[in-house]
Amino acid sequence: MSDSLLATVGDHFFIGLRPTSVLDDRDRALLRDLRPAGVILYKSNFRHDLPYRDWLSVHRDLIAAIRDASQRDKQFIAIDHEGGRVCRTPAPITRFSYAARWASTAEQVGDAMGVELASLGCNLNFAPDLDIHSNPANPVIGERAFGRTADDVIKSMLPFAKAMERRGVRACGKHFPGHGDTQVDSHHELPVLDLDLDQIKARELKPFAAAIEGGIEMMMTSHILYRKLDPNDPVTLSRAITQGLLREAMNFRGVIVSDDVGMRAMAGRLDAPDSGARFMAAGNDMLMICSHLTDTERARFLAQSILNGVDSGKLDPAVLKASAKRVQAMLDGTAQNEVSELPAEVLARHRSAGTQFDAATVEVV
């Protein structure tokens, strides 16, 4: 496949970089060839061993290299920055605790996160978490959720998201249609839930419906098998759930992004010859593929699969065109933030906005 052909589907990709704070040559080539609409940063893309001004200088060069390689006028520079263990950034960027612990000051925390992430060149945060902490045995959500009921989550998530967006950082609700009642972590295996549509309408879907009504323009799908809604495919590959439920029944008009397709929950599905086309046909607008769980060179395979799907008639080109239009519309309304140093007094003020996370004995990822 020619480089120019690969780039024709670049709007549909989020790429997670290899674990280095300097752009890797393989990543540079992938960004150049694919020209992805989004790049996501992880802990390993920052220098945690340097003073603020020094690591920020390295980071500024990384962001410039990403943009130079991608050759896009507009691009999402994204990060997972929820609080608690879901934190990628070095000090003195504020390390808030889990969302449940600052739910009452969610607007102030959203404002602080927005200022700080924008100063890192980020313009999209994969937050808020719209899951409900309904299952105490859940190994992956817990206090990442704002609360134990739909009302608790709704009360905090929208003020948080709106405050962050006012500072130039877009929000993304996750993990549709709800990860709060699972008992396994989709990073490691496929969760299976037996909730029916009436049950999730009564609980799981309420925060997502409120977020859609409130104007959040991006939603992330989960790698969960809701077998009473679709007995065969996890949400990310399920047209019945992603297109039928989220896009059509709930009237979501924004961008749908997959969770990282390299997660082990997707094992055996990612390498199917038609996997890229199936992800898109299910209703996703963007596929996320990150280096810490798989080889991001697979993005080339997925891009080829999308193009093959169009050529073979398995993927309607009109679906792809409408999807790219949604991505571009959101990008058009997204700030392209520049990396800048924040004054110490601003960072000190932010630390008073919400409970801090004590990571002395817990690794931040």
| Strand boundaries in the chain, DSSP class E | 13-16, 38-41, 76-79, 124-125, 170-171, 173-176, 192-193, 218-221, 225-226, 255-260, 286-290
Annotated catalytic residue, options 80, 233, 259, 260: 259
Contact partners, residue 2, CB within 8 Å, separation at least 6: none
Cβ contact 163:108 at 8 Å: yes
Contact partners, residue 16, CB within 8 Å, separation at least 6: 39, 40, 41, 42, 260, 288, 289, 290, 291, 292, 296
175 as an active site residue: the answer is no
Q: Is 201 helix (H, G, I), strand (E, B) or coil?
A: helix
Cβ contact 112:100 at 8 Å: no
C-alpha angle 216-217-218 in degrees, rounded to nearest 5: 105
C-alpha angle 256-148-257 in degrees, rounded to nearest 5: 10
What residues pair up with 190 in beta bridges, in sequence order?
A: none
188 as an active site residue: the answer is no
DSSP assigned state of 144:
G
Annotated catalytic residue, options 24, 152, 187, 274: 187
- Active-site residues: which are they? 187, 259
